[in-house]
Amino acid sequence: MKEAIEGKTRLILYEEGIEKPTKASAFYNPRMVLNRDLAIAAANAFFKDKKGVIRACEPLAATGVRALRYAKEVRNTQVICADTKRSAYAAIIKNIDLNNLKNVAVFHEDALQNLQRAEYDLIDLDPFGTPAPFLETAMKQIKIGQAKLRFATLPSGGGLLGITATDMTAMCGIEPEAAQRRYGGKTLRTEYCYEIGARVLIYAAAKLAEKYKKSVEPLMVLGVDHYIRIWLGAQKSGAQGLRKNYGYIYHCFECDNRKISKEESGFSCDNCGKTMDEAGPLWIGPLFNGKFLQKVKDEVADSEFQSKSRAVKLIEAMEEEAEHPELITFYDIHEFCKTHNLIAPKTEKLIEKLRKGKFKVAKTHFTNLGIRTNAGPKKLKEAIKAL
């Protein structure tokens, strides 16, 4: 056994379970600290003005680190968590005792049983692999508000869903059939595959929300390292509002052109004439809520998170993306230049050139080399050649 500290939480860990999941012990992944730090910041931002107890559920708890951090770092929480592994269940009990916590209840049961125990203000799904088996029950059990979010103030009773996906072969178009089966939308193997994966995951959640006469709003999306993470605000039914954000992305692998459509249709590329490949159905609405991002950034700035510096930089890039929700997909400049046999320019100079040409441009948090723009591949090539 080994002791560690994450956030304000002390942990007893099985050494063989650190970084690598095993059947014999509780898994702890130190590379997911950023994910957990932002989960705490998002919860504090979302529930900042909420009166009363915040009921939280973390049904795939492993060592219990995420559940215990919610209990210690988010005010007025009552946390329910679980794991099916007896070793994990034992580790969580030890870690609860180690931190002298009275506001955490742990159960030796599967995630679906744990989710069905109550309705929750906060549900955090952080599986090793796909969250698909748990999405419907989570959507059924999340509490909803009475008004639309858009984050001026928190509607009474609104819920927050945090969902992680690490099944990146499905999300990134290597196994598109798996994505279709799990989430209802096809993915593509492109440089912006993390964005496609996030949009497919949001679409899956939104379709389930419709089923339970609920609605969801994406508040923040994180696509880094080996995972995708989305945060959704849950509210009262608004199915028509959801459906207007369903659509498809068409991609030309010949010239890197893209087209967004609300209808499924075969498209020939209007740049080179080749047949375009389809991703979707997926979410084509905004990925970020700018007011929420500001609140999260404030929480991070006031914290002592291990990932503080990186988290702030990522949120600042997200804020830029939030200003241009109409710019769906991005160009990885190095990949684009490789495709078109061009010398890659400095990103800042290219952004300046495009803005002088009256094109919309935004950076993206998904990659330091990525830009969102409405320039299109032809004008983008011209801008790069002119530098």
Q: What is the CATH number of the domain that holds 381?
A: 3.30.56.70
Residue 179 forms part of a structural domain: yes
Q: Are 208 and 135 contacting, i.e. CB atoms less than 8 angstroms apart?
A: yes
Both 309 and 352 in one domain: the answer is no
Please indicate, yes or no, whether residues 93 and 170 belong to a single structural domain of this protein: yes
> 165 and 201 share a domain?
yes
pLDDT in the model for residue 29:
83
Domain identity same for 60 and 139: yes
Q: For residue 69, which of 101, 25, 107 has the smallest C-alpha distance?
A: 101
| 229 assigned to some structural domain | yes
379 and 260 belong to one structural domain = no
Q: Rounded distance, CA 281 to CA 304, Å? A: 40
Position 313 in a domain: yes
pLDDT of residue 148: 54
Residue 378 lies in a domain: yes
Last residue of a domain, one of 321, 354, 371: 321
Residue 315 sits in the same domain as residue 357: no
Domain contains 348: yes
Domain count within the chain: 2
Closest to 265 measured CA to CA, from 252, 276, 274, 255: 276
Do 315 and 351 lie in one domain? The reply is no
Write out 37-64 in H/E/C secondary structure: HHHHHHHHHHCCCCCCCEEEEECCCCCC
Residues 236 and 340 placed together within one structural domain of the fold: no
Q: 289 near 251, Cβ under 8 Å?
A: no
In angstroms, the CA 197 to CA 179 distance is 8
Does residue 380 share a domain with residue 271?
no
> Which of 271, 301, 321 is at the close of a domain?
321
Q: Domain boundary residue among 321, 347, 366?
A: 321
* Domain enclosing residue 342, as ranges: 331-385
Q: Is 250 helix (H, G, I), strand (E, B) or coil?
A: strand
* Alpha-carbon distances, residue 128 vs 16, 115, 167, 316, 376 (angstroms): 16, 17, 8, 28, 37
Asked if omega into 281 is within 30° of 0 (cis), the reply is: yes
Concatenate the DSSP letters of all residues of 354-381 into one string: HHHTT--EEE-TT-TTEEEESSHHHHHH
Q: Are residues 289 and 357 in the same domain?
A: no
CATH number (domain holding residue 127):
3.40.50.150
Among 207, 210, 217, CA closest to 155: 217
Identify whether 301 is part of a domain: yes
Long-range contacts of 262-270, Cβ-Cβ distance < 8 Å, separation of 24 or more: none
The strand pairing partners of 58, in sequence order, are: 81
From first to last of its 387 residues, what are the pLDDT tens digits of the chain?
788 899 999 998 866 556 566 655 677 888 899 999 999 999 999 999 888 999 999 999 999 999 999 999 999 999 999 999 998 999 999 999 999 999 999 999 999 999 999 999 999 999 999 999 999 999 999 998 655 555 544 444 589 999 999 999 999 999 999 999 999 999 999 999 999 999 999 999 999 999 999 999 999 999 999 999 999 999 887 666 789 999 999 999 999 999 999 999 888 999 999 999 999 999 999 999 999 999 999 999 999 999 999 999 999 999 999 999 999 999 999 999 999 999 999 999 999 999 999 999 999 999 999 999 999 999 999 999 999
Residue 241, C-beta contacts closer than 8 angstroms, at least 6 positions apart:
148, 215
Does 326 map to a domain?
A: no
Element (H, E) at 222: strand 214-224
Q: Are residues 159 and 250 located together in one domain of the fold? A: yes
Q: In terms of domains, do 87 and 20 share one?
A: yes
Q: Is 104 helix (H, G, I), strand (E, B) or coil?
A: strand
For residue 152, the model assigns a pLDDT of 44
- Does the residue 91 lie in any domain? yes
